[in-house]
Amino acid sequence: MTKTLAPGKPYTEPASRQELLAAKNRRLGLLIFQVSWMMTFICLSVVNWQLRWQYADWPPSEITLNRIFPSIATLLLLASLLLFRSARGTLTAVDARVSFRRRWWLGIALGFLFVTIMAVEFFRAPMLVGTTYRDVFRVMTGFHLAHALVIGWLAIRVLRNPSPEDGWAIEAAIKLWDFVFIAWLIFYAVLYWI
């Protein structure tokens, strides 16, 4: 007997008690990972705010931030997340793998564009030579860039054999990409708007 998950989660849960416990443990492990990393992202944001109050000018007046590309990157990341979620929903349909792969690859492509824009922002930071602001900016964008790359690599691995029965890999990839999006929203607000 299988246990069907809530709407939006089209695959079925393992039936045995041991399999259900293993699924619960994987979800708990993922949650602990996400909470610990979110604390790191929040700490980096707090460091930025603390430095902001120590300097009369933050960012320094000679630095002009271009908000257009990070805003585009944010929209790309959101579109990528929505594609991942819609791809998961296609796995219950006939010819599911073709539709799933198409949406998943498009989500990965949009994620790659996000990473590219963030890499440009990271390497543009040397233009802000000799400032504490540059160092904090690079740590924050570099940390998020590395995290997005690792989770993007995991999203690519899901494509090996996507099926409703392999729901955990898909669920984990989407939850991790949710995390990337939320973490980026925090950094985006702190670095470019607040």
Q: Which CATH number belongs to the domain containing residue 142 in this structure? A: 1.20.120.80
Residue 10's pLDDT is what? 47
**Is residue 126 very low, low, confident or very high in pLDDT (cuts 50, 70, 90)?**
low
pLDDT 10s digits, 142-160: 888 888 888 888 888 777 7
Let me know if residue 9 belongs to a domain. no
pLDDT 10s digits, 97-119: 778 888 888 999 999 999 899 88
**Is residue 73 very low, low, confident or very high in pLDDT (cuts 50, 70, 90)?**
very high
Let me know if residue 5 belongs to a domain. no
CA distance 173 to 40: 20
Let me know if residue 149 belongs to a domain. yes
Let me know if residue 104 belongs to a domain. yes
Let me know if residue 136 belongs to a domain. yes
- Residue 171 identity (one-letter amino acid): E
pLDDT 10s digits, 26-65: 889 989 988 988 898 899 889 888 888 888 877 777 777 7
CA-angle at 27, arms to 77 and 101, nearest 5°: 45
Torsion of CA 19, 86, 10, 169, to 10 degrees: -10
Q: Quick check: 172 pLDDT over 70?
A: yes
- The parent domain of residue 51 ranges over 14-193
- Rg over CA atoms, the chain: 19
Let me know if residue 3 belongs to a domain. no
Total Cβ atoms within 10 A of residue 68: 8
Let me know if residue 65 belongs to a domain. yes
> What's the domain count of the chain?
1
Residue 161's pLDDT is what? 64
